[in-house]
Amino acid sequence: MKNSKICLAADLGAGSGRVLAGRYDGDRIELTEISRFANNPVQLANGWHWQFETLFGEIEAGIRKAVAAHGDEVVSVGVDTWGVDYGLLDASGSLLGPPFQYRDSRTDGMQEHAFSLMPRDEIYQRTGIQFMFFNTLFQLLAEARAPEKLLEKASSLLFLPDLINFRLTGKRAVERSIASTGQLLNAATQQWDRELIAAMNLPENIFGELVDAGTILGPMLSHPSVQVIVPGCHDTASAVAGVPADEPEPVFLSSGTWSLFGRELKKPLISEAGHQAGFSNEAGVFGTTRLLKNIAGMWLLQECKRHWDAAGSTLGYAELVAAAATQPPFAALLDPDAPEFQAPEHMPSAITRWLENSGQPALSDPAAITRCILESLALKYRQVKENLESITDRPIQRIHIVGGGSQNDLLNQFAANSTGCSVIAGPVEATSLGNILLQLYALGDIKSIEDGRALVRRSVQTKSFEPADAGEWEDAYSRYIRLTTR
């Protein structure tokens, strides 16, 4: 294809990773999968860790494969991952042990410890970030108490995509959108909050240079013709960049293991109402803020399916969802964000206990449990939508659902029914598209987020869902509120 170029997106998720090639011809982006690989944490003597060396090897292999197939058409690569997790480097650049997995129990009690050093309200006012047990702040407080004393040996902290970029280029830098997930960045200044860091008795020297999405870090050490460009290194930042909206400050729902529901704003909106409702002000791309709430998302169904598969089930996700569509509506409802579901040993049993404790019938059939999860998620979406409208004092009429969950037509329709909003589903690959948009921006091919979103609209097809069955969903929402506020 004449005058085309290829930008690679290395997108690493909590369950799997892939390298995609985005061919840009001046008008559209065409995505092709280069490689895909599993991401399985491992339990070591001191807790759950990511197999970083394996993951980096897979990403490097995907890049090599793309270069072998496409030669000098490959001009750049960008890396995005989930938030909060990090690696510690010594002065020579060696990794001081494998990065911890965010659901590891080492953070138990660390929120209370943090609040003894600085009041909870002050931490929120400084960072604007939702309190979640695995935030980097709490992981580092746990790290400080660990017998290995790695913080004393460390010269720098890099979040996972930054750590991958360091291995690719030799340059240590932290991209702002990923830094903001850690609850260590000042929302107003978009710099490390040195006063907070000092109050937590954390070593200030490990928090180094911050860079914006769209920064060219430099050539790959192994392939000097390929530039490493930082996208929104937090996968949600890239996913929101890839929302095909034509309206300003769109409302988005990035649907995957987590559901990230929020609105893009021009600046942070930190309020007591946002604090109480658990909203985060995460750094976006092009100087934007993502005012959002983390919801458990498809994690509950993924964990159920893992146990059903181990017991001999052969049903895939599409078959489970199709079977769920035939089940009676609203047989039981649950709170997807209940503490019991954060890291259970056996998710189906955890759901059974929660339903029984709330006075509802236990469910055993996978199709019925699947429908319960999907309906409950949709009702949670309405609750978050109403809180978001109240916090921003702006009505919501359209929701863009992107990511893997946007393929779930049943959940998309439930979301429209529950929220009373039009739902625009797609693209599935919003994260990789947003990643590539920031590379094209750095290379001078697009000039703004508006240019990028217009490019996405030309490149993908979306699907629309309109609200239905308003009365049934209104009754279900009233019941959901009673059950989840008990």
Exactly one of 235, 409, 445, 475 is catalytic; name it.
235
Phi, psi of 158, rounded to the nearest 5 degrees:
-125, 130
Phi, psi of 57, rounded to the nearest 5 degrees:
-60, -40
- H, E, C per residue of the chain: CCCCEEEEEEEECCCEEEEEEEEECCCCEEEEEEEEEECCCEEECCEEECCHHHHHHHHHHHHHHHHHHHHHHEEEEEEEECCCCEEEECCCCCECCCCECCCCHHHCCHHHHHHHHCCHHHHHHHHCCCCCCCCHHHHHHHHHHCCCCHHHHCCEEEEHHHHHHHHHHCCCCEEHHHHHCCCCECCCCCCECHHHHHHCCCCHHHCCCEECCCEEEEECCCCCCCEEEECCCEHHHHHHHCCCCCCCCCEEEEECCCEEEEEEECCCCCCHHHHHHCCEEEECCCCCEEEEEEECCCHHHHHHHHHHHHCCCCCCHHHHHHHHCCCCCCCCCCCCCCHHHCCCCCHHHHHHHHHHHCCCCCCCCHHHHHHHHHHHHHHHHHHHHHHHHHHHCCCCCEEEEECHHHHCHHHHHHHHHHHCCEEEECCCCHHHHHHHHHHHHHCCCCCCHHHHHHHHHHHCCCEEECCCCHHHHHHHHHHHHHHHCC
Q: Does residue 409 have an active-site annotation?
A: no
The two most distant CA atoms of the chain are separated, in Å, by: 65
Cα separation, 152 vs 93, in Å, equals 15
Cα separation, 400 vs 390, in Å, equals 19
Phi, psi of 392, rounded to the nearest 5 degrees:
-90, -10
Chain Cα centroid distance, residue 250: 17
Strand order in the sheet with 398-402: 280-283, 289-295, 259-265, 251-255, 398-402, 422-425, 463-465
Cα separation, 477 vs 30, in Å, equals 41
Question: What is the length of the chain?
Answer: 486
Phi, psi of 12, rounded to the nearest 5 degrees:
-110, 115
Catalytic residues: 235
